[in-house]
Structure 1
Amino acid sequence: MVTVQPFETLSEEYDDWFETHDVAYCAEQAALERIFPETFDSRHDRALEIGVGTGRFAAPLGLSLGLDPARNALERTRERGVDPVRGIAESLPFAAGTLDLTLFVTVLCFVDDLETTLSEARRVLADDGTLAVAVLDRSSAVGQVYQEHKDESPFYADAEFLTGDAACRELERAGFVIEDRAQTVFEDPATIDPEATPLREGHGDGLFAVIRASPAP
């Protein structure tokens, strides 16, 4: 993945973002829970977050495995009860068809090779498995601000933000069928109103867009 260095050396600062922006974080977590399949709770032992970071999403969602190239971030993942796996999205250290769920949370904007990344996610999924993806939607009003100011962030300077539409197209090209979409965070996460974090269908207006897909037959 691109930009491993800031997530390696600034893992504490990255983790602190979720504390200082807890309203946005809770809204994002709720969006992911909304699109997860109803059967997920009974299948969590074969679930992987790719680009798990410090485990902020994998742990509360009940995922058992988290992969990331940043060693320091993985230490926090372990502390949160998620088994850490060091590696990159373009070469997953798992056999074909061995996972029931794979998750990307704002990670696709960092990978070196998006096509290979999604191909790998497809390879390791069981035929009846689920792929869940969250992107920072560049087409949203807040996403446009992120795009304009990304060079000011040690984490997003090298990011290639996707739109929700582009993410869906890439997933379909990689052999997935889109099943559900939702969005949240319609204001600046730093000043967001707790009463103004609804969860809506589709994508394009909210910064945090989530997509559920399954392998095409």
Structure 2
Amino acid sequence: MAKIESFERFYREYEEWFERNPDIYRAELELIRSVLPEGDGIEIGVGTGRFAAPLGIKVGVEPSDAMAEIAKRRGVEILKGNAESLPVPDSSFDFAVMVTTVCFVDDVLRSFREAFRILKKGGIFIVGFVDKDSFLGRRYQKKKNSSRFYKDATFYSTAEIVEFLKKAGFSGILVRQTLIEKDGKLLPVLKDGSGEGSFVVVKGVKKH
């Protein structure tokens, strides 16, 4: 069962986070945009459409009705469902995006295999997440039990996400990062690789 209770109850607080942290939000958007291909895409765990709408992604899968309603108002077509069982036919999309969702799914490998299934040959899967070993990842884990949203989350390292992608069948792995910590501040610098940035995107290709 997707961990949606907090998002159903506190969707307003979720929205307010983006209003309070525009620089972090903008950096995350730009990092995803830097690896986003052209074509028809879908966001898995679209939430309120905060990423799908500005990135031009027209379709999203979302289990939370409260979040989905806001995404609809942002122009996103919503498919009710969860990451482990996508209500989408095989080979339907050119790319799929999963942003800050991986820490809330029950079965990461199964959800990645579902993403593989719904992509066309040559399709791209992009996973954006807070690296558990990063400055921000350590902060979130420290405060996890007192957080409305992250108390049920499982954080992953970049290496773990890459391994899940490979097991799901993806290859041609590309890793990029942003929100580089310096003197207690997070800089919106975009860099290849991982290990410095708190927010990481990993891109995999469905080559067969």
TM-score normalised by structure 2 residue count: 0.95
For 1:52, give the aligned amino acid: V
Q: Distance in 2 between matches of 1:182 and 1:116?
A: 24
Q: Alignment length, in residue pairs?
A: 207
Moved over 3 A (4+): none
Alignment of 1:1-217 (within 5 A): 1-37=1-37, 40=38, 43=39, 46-187=40-181, 192=185, 196-217=187-208
Q: Give deviations 1:92-136, integer Å, cap 9, x for gaps.
A: 111100111111001111111111111111101001211011011
Equivalent residues of 1:139, 1:205 under 8 A apart: no
Report the Cα offset of residue 178 of structure 1: 3.6
SS of 2:197's partner is: coil
Q: Give deviations 1:43-87, integer Å, cap 9, x for gaps.
A: 2xx311000000000000000101110001001101111111111
Equivalent residues of 2:2, 2:63 under 8 A apart: no
Equivalent residues of 1:35, 1:181 under 8 A apart: no
- What root-mean-square deviation, in Å, do the aligned CA atoms of Structure 1 and Structure 2 show? 1.5
For 2:100, give the aligned amino acid: T
For 1:114, give the aligned amino acid: V
Percent identity over the alignment is 37
Report the Cα offset of residue 186 of structure 1: 2.5
For 2:5, give the aligned amino acid: Q
Report the Cα offset of residue 192 of structure 1: 4.5
SS of 1:112's partner is: coil
* Unaligned residue ranges in structure 1 (runs of 5+): none
| Higher strand proportion | 2
* Unaligned residue ranges in structure 2 (runs of 5+): none
